[in-house]
């Protein structure tokens, strides 16, 4: 943890403590409201607390991304007495080097061996599992792909929490489901036959939508500058763009020509009273927690947007204690009524008829499918007259709600 992050955490804890002292002083003096001076101090510290919290999130995100960029480990399939593990590691390293040279200067500068390596890792881009495409790309090396994947995770909070499975191909995947909660066992009397109760399985279908980064153009001067981490920079840009698209669909995707979001058709555990079009009460949150079966509450988390968190942070329990407890330790999420809070700005902001807060076991509630092997295309001729090269990234992904009983939402009233 950097000294800057440590200071920011200490600053947030100190601001929160001062705000609670203001409130405690007003309560001890049995006052109905804060004085003008206290209110001014409270508002100033609350704005500072919000800004500091955002700084902490940015620094933690940067630290996670930086850790991935430094992780150059090569995963092998296991050793053998003839040195197969070393040969595989050497092959991966050789492909990384060839890919880096290809990214900077194109195929013409590669050696014959490097061209063979690149061609061996070339694949057609397929929009769906059985629809052939006319263009192709080169598979991104393992360590570079990890940069992209991690960027997705740190951008969208939900993607770090739901159940993500990785498949080798993009063929339609049947995901079995089962709800056996209505069935119970029974006492067996002597000399009687055991009764039958079949298990009923449902099915979710996971496809593989092709997400693109759109075109990124880079100047030849930038690509030829060996002092600059061009591969890492372009990988981050591709990942951020794809991540923003996935994050929105993961929360509120329609399910038609895109993933179905976690919040899209989720059951409302609580609907706010008339007039609460942008607000929520302490009792609402308690009711929302208890709308989820206790079987899921041991691993349950809250999910909301940053604007939703702003509303929640102002709530207090019956003893006047804040419901939200800011974290003072790096990597540890802040909590609300004892459960961690996941922030994802793909989740709707508080508004009329919007489901702005969710609660439940996110891993049980949602399954996402990612096809292994992101791809990148390098377009040399298209922008040659600008002395630029175009880059295009692809990643195939889908997601669907899984166990509907594991997750409930707070829904604002229409008016």
pLDDT band at 272 (very low <50, low <70, confident <90, very high): very high
Position 69 confidence tier, pLDDT thresholds 50, 70, 90: very low
Residue 345 lies in a domain: no
What CA–CA distance (Å, rounded) separates 109 from 50? 51
Question: CA 383 to CA 238: how far, in whole Å?
Answer: 19
What angle, 0 to 180 degrees and rounded to 10, lies between the N-to-C axes of helices 84-105 and 142-155?
70
- Any idea which residue has 């939402």 for tokens? 409
Please check whether residue 31 lies inside any domain of the structure. yes
Q: How far, in Å, CA of 407 to CA of 291, rounded?
A: 9
170: in domain = no
Three-class SS of residue 131?
A: coil
Residue 9 counted as domain residue: yes
In this prediction, residue 402 has a pLDDT band, given cuts at 50, 70 and 90, of very high
Give a yes or no: residue 54 inside a domain: yes
pLDDT one-digit tens code per residue, 209-244: 999 999 988 888 777 776 667 767 787 788 888 888
Q: Which residue has the higher pLDDT, 264 or 145?
A: 264
Decide: pTM greater than 0.75.
no
Which is it for the CA torsion 360, 364, 365, 367, positive or negative? positive
User: pLDDT tens digits for 9-64?
Assistant: 888 888 888 888 888 888 888 887 888 898 888 888 888 888 888 788 777 766 65
Same domain? For 89 and 52 the reply is no
pLDDT at residue 367, as a whole number? 94
Whose tokens are 């009792």? That residue is 283
H or E segment to which residue 56 belongs:
helix 36-70
Domain check: are 48 and 106 in the same one? Answer: no
323: pLDDT strictly greater than 50: yes
Based on the domain organization, do 66 and 16 belong to the same domain? yes
Is residue 133 one of the residues assigned to a domain?
Answer: no
The domain containing residue 101 runs over which residues?
A: 85-120
Are 18 and 43 spatial neighbours (Cβ–Cβ below 8 Å)?
A: no
Q: What is the mean pLDDT of the chain?
A: 81
- Does the structure show a pLDDT above 60 at 66? no
Torsion sign, CA atoms 272, 181, 369, 206: negative
Contact 211, 394 (CB under 8 A): yes
Cβ pair 390, 216 in contact under 8 A: yes
Domain shared by 1 and 67, yes or no:
yes
Task: Domain count for the chain, please give it.
Answer: 2
pLDDT of residue 70: 39
Give tens-digit pLDDT for 113-157: 887 887 777 665 444 333 333 345 666 777 677 777 767 766 678
Whether 19 is covered by a domain: the verdict is yes
Which residues touch 331 (CB under 8 Å, ≥6 apart)? 60
Q: Under a CB-based contact definition with an 8 Å cutoff, are residues 401 and 265 in contact?
A: yes
Whether residue 258 is predicted with pLDDT greater than 60 in this model: the reply is yes
Q: What is the pLDDT of residues 160-180, one digit of tens each?
A: 899 999 888 888 888 887 777
pLDDT of residue 171: 86
**Contact residues for 291 (Cβ-Cβ < 8 A; gap 6+):** 269, 270, 359, 408
Number of neighbours of residue 241 by Cβ within 10 angstroms: 18
Q: Per-residue DSSP letters for 350-405?
A: S-TT-EEEEEE-HHHHEEEEEES--EEEEE-STTGGGTEEEEEEEEEEEEEE--GG
What pLDDT does residue 128 have?
A: 37
| Tens of pLDDT, residues 358-375 | 999 999 999 999 988 777
Q: Which residues pair with 341 in a beta bridge?
A: 302
Please name which of 110, 197, 73, 107 lies closest in space to residue 389, comparing C-alpha atoms. Answer: 107
Interatomic CA distance for residues 30 and 91, integer angstroms = 74
Q: What would the mean pLDDT of 276-293 be, rounded to a whole number?
A: 96
Calpha distance 234→240 (Å, rounded): 10
* 3 pLDDT higher than 70: yes
Q: For residues 67-88, give the mean pLDDT.
A: 42
- Whether the Cβ atoms of residue 406 and residue 361 lie closer than 8 Å to each other: yes
Task: Note whether 66 and 89 are same-domain residues.
Answer: no
179 occurs within a structural domain: no
Give me the percent of the chain exceeding a pLDDT of 70.
84
How far apart are alpha carbons 63 and 45 in whole angstroms?
A: 26
Q: Is the pLDDT score of 194 beyond 80?
A: yes
DSSP states along 247-296: HHHHHH-BSSSSPBPTTTSPPEEEEPPTT-SS---HHHHHHHHHTS-HHH
């Amino acid at each position: 943890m950097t000294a800057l992050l440590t200071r920011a955490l200490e600053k947030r804890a100190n601001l929160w403590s001062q705000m609670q002292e203001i409130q405690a002083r007003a309560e001890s003096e049995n006052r109905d409201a804060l004085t003008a001076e206290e209110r001014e101090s409270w508002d100033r510290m609350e704005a500072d607390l919000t800004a500091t919290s955002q700084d902490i999130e940015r620094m933690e995100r940067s630290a996670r991304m930086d850790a991935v960029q430094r992780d150059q480990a090569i995963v092998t399939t296991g050793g053998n007495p003839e040195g197969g593990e070393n040969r595989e590691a050497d092959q991966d390293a050789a492909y990384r080097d060839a890919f880096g040279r290809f990214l900077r200067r194109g195929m013409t500068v590669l050696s014959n061996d490097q061209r063979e390596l690149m061609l061996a890792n070339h694949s057609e881009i397929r929009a769906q599992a059985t629809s052939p495409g006319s263009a192709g790309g080169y598979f991104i090396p393992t360590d570079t792909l990890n940069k992209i994947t991690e960027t997705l995770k740190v951008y969208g909070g939900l993607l770090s929490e739901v159940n993500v499975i990785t498949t080798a191909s993009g063929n339609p995947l049947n995901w079995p489901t089962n709800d056996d909660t209505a069935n119970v066992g029974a006492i067996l009397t002597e000399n009687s036959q055991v009764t039958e109760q079949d298990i009923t399985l449902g099915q979710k279908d996971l496809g593989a939508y092709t997400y693109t980064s759109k075109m990124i153009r880079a100047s030849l001067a930038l690509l030829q500058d060996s002092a600059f981490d061009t591969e890492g920079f372009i990988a981050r840009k591709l990942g951020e763009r794809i991540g923003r698209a996935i994050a929105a669909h993961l929360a509120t995707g329609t399910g038609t020509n895109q993933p179905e979001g976690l919040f899209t058709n989720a059951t409302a555990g609580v609907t706010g009273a008339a007039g609460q079009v942008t607000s929520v009460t302490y009792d609402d949150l308690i009711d929302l927690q208890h709308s989820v079966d206790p079987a899921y509450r041991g691993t349950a988390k809250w999910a909301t947007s940053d604007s939703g968190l702003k509303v929640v942070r102002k709530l207090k329990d019956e003893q006047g204690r804040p419901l939200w407890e800011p974290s003072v330790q790096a990597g540890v999420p802040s909590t609300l009524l004892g459960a961690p809070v996941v922030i994802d700005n793909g989740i709707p902001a508080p508004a009329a008829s919007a489901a702005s807060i969710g609660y439940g076991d996110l891993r049980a509630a949602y399954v996402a499918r990612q096809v292994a092997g992101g791809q990148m295309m390098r377009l040399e001729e298209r922008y040659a007259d600008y002395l630029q090269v175009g880059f295009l990234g692809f990643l195939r992904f889908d997601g669907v709600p899984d166990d509907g009983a594991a997750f409930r939402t707070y829904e604002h009233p229409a008016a």
